[in-house]
């Protein structure tokens, strides 16, 4: 959690967030909105790429299921 907070504060400083201002600049607000989209999209893209490269076919799933059932019985 501390790493996430540290990264968040770094990014806020990088985009120009100033907590002493009563209202943030238009640039800062725009960058915050962009980051609210960009970070989840990047995470989703990384997840999708990882999943497409994961070698799990239907045959492999059935092989794993058979091995598990042999070990612990059918559930």
14-72: pLDDT as tens digits: 999 998 999 999 999 999 999 999 999 999 999 999 999 988 889 999 999 999 999 98
pTM for this entry: 0.57
Contact 2, 18 (CB under 8 A): no
- Half-sphere exposure of residue 40: CA atoms within 13 angstroms, side-chain side: 5
Contacts of 17 (CB under 8 A, 6+ apart): 24, 28, 32
Cα(69)–Cα(58) distance, rounded to whole angstroms? 16
């Amino acid at each position: 959690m501390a790493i996430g907070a540290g990264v968040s504060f770094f990014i806020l400083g990088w985009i120009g967030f100033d907590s002493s201002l009563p209202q943030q600049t238009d640039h800062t607000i725009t960058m915050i909105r962009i980051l609210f989209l960009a970070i989840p999209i990047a995470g989703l893209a990384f997840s999708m790429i990882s999943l497409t490269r994961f070698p799990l076919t239907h045959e492999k799933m059935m092989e794993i299921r058979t091995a598990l059932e042999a070990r612990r019985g059918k559930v």
